[in-house]
Amino acid sequence: MSRQLTEIEENHKQEKQALLEVFSEESRLLSEKKSSLSREEESLLQALKKQEEQLLFEVQPVKNQIMDLQNRLEQERASRAKVLGAKEEVHKHLVSQKSAQEENFTQELSRFEIRTREEEQEAPRSDGHAVETWRAEKDPARADDLEPET
């Protein structure tokens, strides 16, 4: 029995040693995998950082263009608003000028019509006087017959 016990102890030591070796090997492999994963993670983080920097580098000109276009748009809007305001002022001025000219024209037309009527009323008298004056110039003897009209 002692021999069996020694054999069992020996087997047990061998199994324990084998388990320790397997465990040690597994630990070593796990440690290598961890190290490998850590290196891969670091590599991926560096690649990601480089891509981020590259994208920022590529995006910055686009951002600048957008800002430039927004500024131009704002300037264009301001310019158009200014032009529109000026056009509205010119339109108001023209409307007021037109109104004043129409009123002036109406007054002149009214005065013209009044003068025309007055001249039409005086025309027969004036025509008669002109004829008499002409006859008197032709025939001085009749000049004494001329009577001034009132």
pLDDT at residue 136, as a whole number: 79
Residue 146 covered by a domain: no
Residue 64 covered by a domain: yes
Residue 36 covered by a domain: yes
**Domain hosting residue 20, numbered range:** 2-140
The amino acid at residue 19 is L
pLDDT at residue 150, as a whole number: 46
pLDDT in tens, the chain (150 residues): 788 889 899 999 999 999 999 999 999 999 999 999 999 999 999 999 999 999 999 999 999 999 999 999 999 999 999 999 999 999 999 999 999 999 999 999 999 999 998 888 876 666 667 777 777 787 766 545 555 554
The total domain count for the chain is: 1
pLDDT at residue 137, as a whole number: 80
Residue 147 covered by a domain: no
pLDDT at residue 111, as a whole number: 94
Residue 92 covered by a domain: yes
Residue environment code for 34-53, b if the CB has 16+ CB neighbours within 10 A, otherwise e: eeeeeeeeeeeeeeeeeeee
